[in-house]
């Protein structure tokens, strides 16, 4: 709320039905990072989007922001480490976690792929 008009949010579930289960609070630290570290430093604000789509028996989750992006030497922090550890604990090698710069310009993209029926 403190960002007011400076924050634009887009949610898309593509072909996901909304009944797909994901671990509680999996996305919260990623969204918090996008807003706190990516968008808060930008005077005019920006956007963050969250999307989900099915690919057979896998669910692809993507969080994208157009903030300042990650410093080249910063790919982990407490929130990111916690998310990665939770994915490893719940899904082992069946989960994917990728973080990087947006190819279109400034900002960060986080991609998570999890099996739909693993736990």
Q: What is the pLDDT of residues 91-113, one digit of tens each?
A: 999 999 999 888 777 899 999 99
Residue 44 pLDDT: 85
The set of residues, in sequence order, having a beta carbon less than 8 Å from that of 10 and lying 6+ positions away, is 47, 48, 49, 50, 51
CA distances from 7 to 4, 23, 47 (A): 6, 26, 6
* Gyration radius from the chain CA atoms: 14
Residue, of 46 and 71, whose pLDDT is higher: 46
With cut-offs at 50, 70 and 90, classify the pLDDT of residue 3.
Answer: low
Task: Please tell me whether residue 108 adopts helix, strand or coil conformation.
Answer: strand
Report whether pLDDT(30) > 80: yes
25 HSE (CA, 13 A, CB side): 5
Contact criterion met (CB below 8 Å) for 46 and 66: yes
Asked if residue 71 has pLDDT above 80, the reply is no
pLDDT surpassing 60 at residue 1? no
Mean pLDDT value across residues 29-39: 89
Architecture of domain 4-15+30-115: 2-Layer Sandwich (3.30)
pLDDT at 60: 94
The rounded percent of the chain whose pLDDT value lies above 70 is 89
Can you tell me the distance from the alpha carbon of 75 to that of 81, in angstroms, rounded to the nearest whole number? Answer: 9
pTM comes to 0.86
């Amino acid at each position: 709320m403190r960002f007011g008009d400076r924050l634009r949010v887009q949610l898309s579930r593509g072909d996901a039905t909304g009944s797909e289960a994901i671990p509680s609070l999996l996305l919260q630290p990623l969204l918090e990072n996008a807003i706190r570290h990516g968008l808060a430093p930008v005077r005019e604000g920006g956007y963050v989007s969250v999307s989900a789509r099915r690919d057979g028996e896998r669910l692809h989750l993507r969080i994208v922001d157009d903030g300042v992006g990650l410093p080249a030497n910063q790919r982990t922090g407490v929130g990111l480490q916690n998310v990665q550890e939770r994915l490893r604990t719940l899904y082992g090698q069946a989960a994917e976690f990728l973080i990087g710069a947006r190819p279109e310009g400034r900002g960060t993209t986080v991609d998570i792929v999890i099996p739909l029926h693993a736990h």
